[in-house]
Chain A
Amino acid sequence: MTPFATLSNASSVSWDAIPQKTPENMCSSIAEAMANGARICSFFGLPSDNSISLNSGSKTIELVAVLAHDTEDALSVIRSMPFSGSFPSLTPDHPQAHLFERLIFEEHGLTPTGHPWLKPVRKTETNAPRNSPFFEVAGSEIHEVAVGPVHAGIIEPGHFRFQCTGEKVHHLEIALGYQHRGIEAALTGGPFPSGIKQIEALAGDTSVAHTTAYATNLEVLSGTEAPLQAQWVRAIALELERLANHTGDIGALANDVAFLPTSSACGRIRGDFLNLTALICGNRFGRSLVTPGGCRYDLEPERACRLRERLLVSLSEVEQAARWLWESSSSRARFERIGTLTPDDAARMGMVGPAVRACGLVRDVRFDHPAGWHRFAQIPVSVWPDGDVQARARVRWLEIRQSGEFLKEQLAAAPGGPLITPMPPLMPDTLAVTLVEGWRGEVCHVAITDHQGRLRTCKVTDPSFHNWTGLALAMRNQAISDFPICNKSFNLSYCGFDL
Chain B
Amino acid sequence: MSTFDVLFHRIQTGCETIAYPDGPAPALPDRHGGALQLDSTRCMDTCHACMDICPTQAIRRTRENGIELDLGRCLFCGSCVEVCPTQAITPTNNHRMAVRKKDDLILGSGARSQLRLAEDLGSRLIALLGRSIRLRQVSAGGCNACEADVNVLGTIGWDLGRFGIQFVASPRHADGILITGPVSKAMELALRKTWDAIPEPKIAIAVGSCAISGGPFHANPETHAGADGIIPIDLYIPGCPPHPLTILDGLLRVLGKLKNSASEHAE
Question: What string of 1s and 0s marks CB contacts (under 8 Å) between B111-128 and chain A?
Answer: 000000000000000000
A288 at interface by CB-CB < 8 Å = yes
A264: chain B residues at CB < 8 Å are: 155-156
A200 at interface by CB-CB < 8 Å = yes
Given the interface contacts A181-B184, A181-B220, A278-B29, does A202 sit within 8 Å of B143 by beta carbon?
A: yes
B217 at interface by CB-CB < 8 Å = yes
Residue among A180, A279, A323 making CB contact with B184, cutoff 8 Å? A180
Q: Is the CB of A150 within 8 A of B194?
A: yes
A157: chain B residues at CB < 8 Å are: 138-140, 187, 190
CB distance from B109 to the nearest CB of A (A): 27
Q: Is the CB of B190 within 8 A of A198?
A: no
Question: What string of 1s and 0s marks CB contacts (under 8 Å) between B125-168 and chain A?
Answer: 00000000000111111111111111110111100000000010
Q: Is the CB of A287 within 8 A of B223?
A: no
Size of B's binding interface in residues, CB under 8 A: 66
Residue among B75, B169, B220 making CB contact with A183, cutoff 8 Å? B220
- Bound-state Cα–Cα, A202 to B75, Å: 14
Q: Is the CB of B33 within 8 A of A282?
A: yes
B194: chain A residues at CB < 8 Å are: 150
Q: Is the CB of B156 within 8 A of A268?
A: yes
Residue among A154, A271, A275 making CB contact with B29, cutoff 8 Å? A275
- Of B9, B76, B148, the most chain A CB neighbours within 10 A belong to B148
Q: Is the CB of B155 within 8 A of A284?
A: no
Among residues of A, the one whose C-beta sits closest to the C-beta of B78 is: A288
CB distance from B33 to the nearest CB of A (A): 6
Q: Is the CB of B146 within 8 A of A204?
A: yes
A181: chain B residues at CB < 8 Å are: 141, 182, 184, 217, 220, 222-223
CB distance from B29 to the nearest CB of A (A): 4
Q: Is the CB of A283 within 8 A of B222?
A: no
B186: chain A residues at CB < 8 Å are: 122, 124, 128-129, 177-180
Q: Is the CB of B216 within 8 A of A327?
A: no
Q: Is the CB of A288 within 8 A of B77?
A: yes
Among residues of B, the one whose C-beta sits closest to the C-beta of A159 is: B190
CB distance from B19 to the nearest CB of A (A): 15
Residue among A198, A204, A271 making CB contact with B142, cutoff 8 Å? A204
Q: Is the CB of B144 within 8 A of A261?
A: no
Given the interface contacts A153-B167, A204-B142, does A194 sit within 8 Å of B157 by beta carbon?
A: no
Chain A 110-143 residues near chain B, CB threshold 8 A? 122, 124, 127-129
Q: Is the CB of B169 within 8 A of A152?
A: yes
Q: Is the CB of A193 within 8 A of B53?
A: yes
- Bound-state Cα–Cα, A320 to B10, Å: 12
Q: Is the CB of B141 within 8 A of A201?
A: no
Given the interface contacts A182-B222, A261-B6, A282-B29, does A204 sit within 8 Å of B241 by beta carbon?
A: yes
Q: Is the CB of B157 within 8 A of A149?
A: no
B221 at interface by CB-CB < 8 Å = yes
Q: Is the CB of B137 within 8 A of A287?
A: no
Q: Is the CB of A186 within 8 A of B220?
A: yes
Given the interface contacts A150-B190, A181-B184, does A268 sit within 8 Å of B142 by beta carbon?
A: no
**Chain B residues within CB distance 8 Å of chain A:** 1-2, 5-6, 9-10, 16, 29-33, 53, 55-56, 75-79, 136-152, 154-157, 167, 169-170, 181-182, 184-187, 189-190, 194, 210, 215-217, 219-223, 240-241, 243-244
Q: List 4 tightest A-B contacts by C-beta distance, closest first.
A: A204-B145, A204-B143, A282-B31, A182-B222
**Chain A residues within CB distance 8 Å of chain B:** 122, 124, 127-129, 149-150, 152-157, 177-183, 185-186, 193-194, 196-198, 200-205, 207, 261, 264, 267-268, 270-271, 275, 278-285, 287-288, 296-297, 320, 323-324, 327-328, 493-495, 498
